[in-house]
A and B are shown apart, each in its own frame.
Chain A
Amino acid sequence: MSGTWHANSWLSGAGRVASLRGGRGTASCTDDQRPLRVATALTEPLLLGRALTVELGPAHDRTSVITGLDFSLAAGRTLGVVGESGCGKSMTALAIMGLAPSPHRIGGVLRFAGQDLLTMPQDRRRQLRGADMAMIFQEPMTALNPVVPVGVQIAEMLIVHDNASETAAWRGAVALLDRGGIADPARRARAYPDELSGGMRQRVMIAMAIACKPRLLIADEPTTALDVSVQAQILDLLLELQRDTGMAMVFISHNLGVVSAVADDIMVMYAGRALETGPAQRVLTAPAHPYTAGLIATLPDIGRRQKILPVIEGSPVNPRNRPPGCAFAPRCPRVIAECRTGLPAMVMVSPGQEAACIRCAA
């Protein structure tokens, strides 16, 4: 086991201790400060999804956007979620946060720090948001309120969740901006979002997200809207914060290259399902699913001049009319007749690595 929490290991109770070690070993450092959390970490992972389904729309016209998703994430570790636009990665994040657009129906199991998120009262869920699980978004310009100074938007977190006074919260906000790597934080705290650069705005979002020392940070395409050089800085900042605080991260991106830089484990999604999961190293070097292999093949190679960038032929399926068999079959280079009839189950292809493909099972 390479430190991945998997359905089998958790349900059978085997490999728990092994899972806590491995990775960067940062879990223990925060566990020292938070003895209570050791207990939960020993009994189950911080975040756990089992057969998670999300359906959107009113009762008479529901569309299933996420089907049978299994995932787990331990403190201090990062789960990279990869897939094309519309594959359900952002919806997964919103479902975890409890922000799926209404009306919706969520099924399966979704647990966080030993608590059932799906049966939790709304107000308790709200208290959890921001304080214990935080989220940063793709476009910091629109994600920040244009008419409120950024310092106030950060300070608000401390006022709402930590009962801080106005002045204490403001001091906290300035300190958080400093922590987020913003120069001259006292002055910048009074700035409005449109007065900051894209990179600084994302730093503000990050400062806001970590204000209450969340145990889980969900980053939904946090670097997609930024320049490449700024992307690297933001990734470094996220990794540094994770190292210091021991928070878990769900890192969502369509860019496999970015995910490979931060993730311990990777979940590849397609049409609302996971096609492949496993340790990042394994998935990237020995992809089992043809779709994962296709994604890796489309990464441009800086050493080689390419006239035409490689692509995966076709376009993603519409969740409203999913084909009966494997959703990727229409675009799959290795498709066989059976792919179009039966839905492939997740099978283990190497320790910790699973893929939903008939060809792998055979």
Chain B
Amino acid sequence: MGRFLLGRITGAGIVLLLKSFVIFALIGLMPGDPLDLMMNANPETTPEQMAHLRAMYGVDLPITQRYWTWLVAALQGDFGYSRIQHRPVLDIIIPALGNTLILTGAAFVLSTTLAVTLGTIAALKRGTWIDRIINLFAFAGISVPSFWLGLLMIYLFAVRLGWLPAGGMPRPEQGFGGMLAHLVMPVMTLVIVETGGLARYARAAMIEVLSQDYIRTARAKGLTDRRMLVRHALRNALIPVLTLVALQLGGLFSGAALTEAMFAWRGMGRLILEAILGNDYNLALVCLMFVTATILIANICADIAYTWLDPRISLGKRRR
């Protein structure tokens, strides 16, 4: 296990390094650079001034050299300044990360729990009206675009009923209640959209497991339905579901850009969008690196969870 983890973390480090160069190069390839924007803002800049500025910011150097400079600084913990906000990149990213994690984390926990529960119930009540209603809900969730759902909720709960704030971040003095009020709509939007697919998947996995011989054995043993379900069926059904959950976990920091934009939630999704649109090299680069890192970490977590759920899978070492 220790060796496996070490190997995977080293691998993740290499992927991260390669990815940083690719992102750096891609951003370099984007049309225009920060100085073009500067020039647009002040049409009286002379070409000599421009050349001087380019040399000063290092934009005239070849991309490999620029990358090397960035990497050396980054490895020392200096990720540079945001061009737009004139603040160190990390000072901007860390609060955004926190905000996103609150939003997507809550949605993730809720949607996963809900999906597994609904999928299990649908599988157990297969073919009945309960199954049909759950399926209908799942398909509705899959089909409904999140921006439409979000707007509908804003109209209903914020504009019409006035129960909830239409968007934005809670002020610190509003405390936990304020946080909750601001979270309800974006979290609901994410949960409804994410639950459908996962619930369908959990249902299929559960139906598959319930037809297995060992479930017949469990029934022949005279186990209670509850024990059969929890001890024998659920654990086996969760193995395939875990793959999908791991993918969603990877999207925790980036997957909610649209929802964040709609509810003016100051999270990572929105930050990435703003950084790219504003040609904010340093900010976009580090944001995208964080997203990559999350996906890599989620994959490692999924591998560990697999061994925990399924003893037939062992990580790098021979079993007994």
Say whether B319 contacts A143, CB under 8 Å.
no
Q: A126's closest neighbor in chain B, by CB? A: B222
Say whether A137 contacts B227, CB under 8 Å.
no
Task: Enumerate chain B residues within 8 angstroms of A97, measured Cβ to Cβ.
Answer: 220
Cβ-based interface call for A208 (8 A): yes
Of the stretches A106-114, A145-153, A171-179, A331-339, the one at the interface is A145-153
Q: B213's closest neighbor in chain A, by CB? A: A142
Cβ-based interface call for B85 (8 A): no
Task: Enumerate chain B residues within 8 angstroms of A130, measured Cβ to Cβ.
Answer: 220-223
CA gap between A145 and B233 in the complex, in Å: 9
Q: B218's closest neighbor in chain A, by CB? A: A145
Interface size of B by Cβ–Cβ distance < 8 Å?
24
Q: A188's closest neighbor in chain B, by CB? A: B320
Main DSSP-derived SS at the B contact region: helix
**CB of B242, distance to nearest CB on chain A (Å):** 12
CA gap between A152 and B127 in the complex, in Å: 33
Task: Enumerate chain B residues within 8 angstroms of A194, measured Cβ to Cβ.
Answer: 312
Say whether A144 contacts B220, CB under 8 Å.
no
List A242-287 residues whose CB lies under 8 Å from chain B.
none
Cβ-based interface call for B310 (8 A): yes
Partner of B235, one of A131, A147, A205: A147
A144 touching B217 in the complex, CB below 8 Å, given contacts A191-B320, A192-B311, A195-B320: yes
Say whether A156 contacts B220, CB under 8 Å.
no
CA gap between A137 and B239 in the complex, in Å: 25
Say whether A156 contacts B223, CB under 8 Å.
yes
A129 touching B220 in the complex, CB below 8 Å, given contacts A147-B309, A147-B312: yes
Cβ-based interface call for B83 (8 A): no
A160 touching B227 in the complex, CB below 8 Å, given contacts A128-B222, A148-B232, A191-B320: yes
A127 touching B222 in the complex, CB below 8 Å, given contacts A142-B212, A142-B213, A146-B214: yes
Say whether A137 contacts B224, CB under 8 Å.
no
Q: B216's closest neighbor in chain A, by CB? A: A99
CA gap between A76 and B309 in the complex, in Å: 42
**CB of A252, distance to nearest CB on chain B (Å):** 14
Say whether A145 contacts B232, CB under 8 Å.
yes
Cβ-based interface call for A20 (8 A): no
Cβ-based interface call for B231 (8 A): yes
Say whether B222 contacts A147, CB under 8 Å.
no
Say whether A126 contacts B224, CB under 8 Å.
yes
CA gap between A149 and B231 in the complex, in Å: 12
Say whether B311 contacts A147, CB under 8 Å.
yes
Cβ-based interface call for B243 (8 A): no
List A316-356 residues whose CB lies under 8 Å from chain B.
none
Cβ-based interface call for B219 (8 A): yes
The chain A residues found within 8 Å of chain B, CB to CB, are: 97, 99, 126-131, 134-135, 137, 139, 142-149, 156-157, 160-161, 191-192, 194-195, 205, 208
Among all A-B residue pairs, the 10 with the closest Cβ atoms: A130-B222, A129-B222, A142-B213, A130-B221, A145-B214, A135-B220, A143-B213, A143-B217, A192-B311, A126-B222
Can you name 12 A-B residue pairings with CB atoms under 8 Å? A99-B216, A134-B221, A137-B213, A142-B213, A143-B213, A145-B236, A146-B214, A146-B310, A146-B311, A148-B235, A149-B311, A160-B224
Question: Beyond A128-B222, A156-B221, A156-B227: 14 further Cβ-contacts under 8 Å?
Answer: A126-B223, A127-B222, A129-B220, A130-B223, A131-B222, A134-B220, A142-B212, A142-B213, A142-B214, A145-B232, A146-B310, A147-B239, A148-B231, A156-B231
